[in-house]
Structure 1
């Protein structure tokens, strides 16, 4: 099969450019609505689109094995609830960097739980990645807060979802896994909104109340940016999936680190948000660790399913 690395790089970078843009507008959504309402309505928008695409492609969305897909969807959805919650409260570059610690955790879990062998270069990648985490968290200057650790927790859950995609759901299609993910996000959003409707809490105004805010009367702005988020995620992920289809996964995974760059770029352009030097160094270390881990896989071909699934089924 032809290995079209340059074309794949262009597709992946374009996908990351779109995702970086839409994720920056979560703070606009968070200013008036809650995370639970957002995910419920976003899923209600995305699922019909996916059903239509599946019908046009002659594919079904029902999984071959329901329980593994549900379990994988649980971890993926939990990761994304934390990720989007953090987007409302923290600089997007730091949040994305936390999520992109996933390859490090995938490697550690694969070695410790499944007994996979890792070489010295990938061990160095793990060390480099954790150094990047410590630099971003500035552990030498400030005491760690639970909020500062949340993006890393999202990365850990994201990693379990990646492993589950390969080991539990190897025979499932990307559309099926995406549908399961959105279904769980919608169910989680509905449960959260109902709980806060029955047991309301006082939520701060603005983005700070994103996680605690119950159901509110949504405005046209909320519907517009939620729809943009849903469509942008689907289009961005479709481009990344196509990149993985036309080139070797271990090389394509390197270009996925472009999301870190584009997230910071859009934050600068849209909001004037300038990352600190320590944050930039930490992001570079995490991106370098992910690149090293991807390129130094002992069996590059074995990475295709979980890397493609990471792009196509988790990052939504």
Structure 2
């Protein structure tokens, strides 16, 4: 059976992912004001897995992994990336953290070329570089300020995120989207539970509000926490499912470029919800991001070789 990488379909999946995640992530600031990172991940994962279990029963989705080791490894890598990303937000500017995470496509290209031997044409390399330049323009010059060990953490998150994206196709091509969703949320939920246990045994002095997001242990949550965490769980379940599907239908080095769309999507929701305005530099950056994505999509339509599958 002969098929082609469905790059345009993957772009559509990523667009849905970005719009939903851009909305839900704008409300993490509300959750962080009263609860902690670990309780948030444990609660969100429990809600997401409950919704997924009901959906699997109704829609007859397969959740049992074909390869337990591969799913566990992929889930742990992606989960660790998200923990580092959210944890770094406690003591670094959002712009700097986001810039580090969006180094992932660079790592995807390097790993795809030198580990898996994938041929990477100059057009795709240029598209990733243009997209990353657009990211820096959107985030502003402060994104590259301050080199330190702490500043390297978001880049570590980018490395792990890129590795997880490659693992989705290289290790887990036979797994269903439901299986990978369950593994992802189970890993994050387990990490959240472990963090709460450690903070219960070794409590820390916790600052008020969002400053105490990482150090805060178990608290009695309000109705607002439950509501926005449920929105996060349902939204993340759908959005991550779309992202997983994208990486299953096209190569990681192509799909990763489309993830840049999450920046303009988040900026749009930030403007709509919090009246946050974009600078002219940010608008230029978004244009570069769109150009990078279009270049990858058009190049894939005209030159992508067929891939034999069984």
TM-score by length of 1: 0.78
SS of 2:277 mapped into structure 1: coil
> 1:89 touches 1:207 (CA, 8 Å); kept in 2?
no
Query: Which position in structure 1 is the counterpart of 2:41?
Result: 39
Query: Which position in structure 2 is the counterpart of 1:52?
Result: 54
Relative to 1, partners in 2 of residues 1:286 and 1:100: Cα closer, same or farther, differing over 3 Å?
farther
Q: List gaps (5 residues or longer) in structure 1.
A: 305-316
Relative to 1, partners in 2 of residues 1:231 and 1:132: Cα closer, same or farther, differing over 3 Å?
same
Q: Distance in 1 between matches of 2:86 and 2:54?
A: 26
1:259 and 2:262 are equivalent in the alignment: yes
How do residues 243-258 of structure 1 correspond to structure 2 at under 5 angstroms? 256-258=259-261
SS of 1:22 mapped into structure 2: helix
> 2:108 touches 2:253 (CA, 8 Å); kept in 1?
no
Q: Distance in 1 between matches of 2:285 and 2:152?
A: 14
Which among 264, 269, 272 is matched to residue 272 of structure 2? 269
> 2:79 touches 2:184 (CA, 8 Å); kept in 1?
yes
Q: Which moved more, 1:243-252 or 1:190-199?
A: 243-252
SS of 1:25 mapped into structure 2: helix
SS of 1:47 mapped into structure 2: helix
> 1:97 touches 1:283 (CA, 8 Å); kept in 2?
no
How do residues 269-308 of structure 1 correspond to structure 2 at under 5 angstroms? 269-278=272-281, 281=284, 285=288, 288-289=291-292, 292-293=295-296, 295-296=298-299, 299=304
> 1:93 touches 1:275 (CA, 8 Å); kept in 2?
no
Q: Which moved more, 1:231-240 or 1:201-210?
A: 231-240
Which among 172, 181, 185 is matched to residue 182 of structure 1? 185
Relative to 1, partners in 2 of residues 1:6 and 1:79: Cα closer, same or farther, differing over 3 Å?
closer
> 1:27 touches 1:87 (CA, 8 Å); kept in 2?
no
Q: List gaps (5 residues or longer) in structure 2.
A: none
Q: Distance in 2 between matches of 1:140 and 1:238?
A: 29
Q: When the two structures are aligned, how many residues end up with a matched partner?
A: 303
1:76 and 2:71 are equivalent in the alignment: no
User: 1:4-30 CA distances to partner (integer Å, 9 max, x unpaired)?
Assistant: 999987775454322211110001101
Which among 214, 217, 241 is matched to residue 217 of structure 2? 214
Q: Following TM superposition, by how much is the alpha carbon of 1:235 offset from its aligned partner in structure 2, in angstroms? A: 2.9
Query: Which position in structure 2 is the counterpart of 1:170?
Result: 173
Q: Distance in 1 between matches of 2:227 and 2:115?
A: 44
Q: Following TM superposition, by how much is the alpha carbon of 1:273 offset from its aligned partner in structure 2, in angstroms? A: 2.9
Relative to 1, partners in 2 of residues 1:250 and 1:211: Cα closer, same or farther, differing over 3 Å?
closer
> 2:112 touches 2:253 (CA, 8 Å); kept in 1?
no
Relative to 1, partners in 2 of residues 1:293 and 1:169: Cα closer, same or farther, differing over 3 Å?
same
Relative to 1, partners in 2 of residues 1:79 and 1:45: Cα closer, same or farther, differing over 3 Å?
same
TM-score by length of 2: 0.80
Q: Distance in 2 between matches of 1:165 and 1:247?
A: 11
> 1:137 touches 1:148 (CA, 8 Å); kept in 2?
no
Q: Distance in 1 between matches of 2:97 and 2:293?
A: 16
Q: Following TM superposition, by how much is the alpha carbon of 1:120 offset from its aligned partner in structure 2, in angstroms? A: 1.5
> 1:250 touches 1:295 (CA, 8 Å); kept in 2?
no
Q: Distance in 1 between matches of 2:136 and 2:17?
A: 29
Which among 114, 117, 125 is matched to residue 116 of structure 2? 114
Q: Distance in 1 between matches of 2:44 and 2:295?
A: 35
Relative to 1, partners in 2 of residues 1:121 and 1:292: Cα closer, same or farther, differing over 3 Å?
same
Q: Following TM superposition, by how much is the alpha carbon of 1:217 offset from its aligned partner in structure 2, in angstroms? A: 1.3
CA root-mean-square deviation: 3.8
User: 1:57-78 CA distances to partner (integer Å, 9 max, x unpaired)?
Assistant: 2233121111111111111101
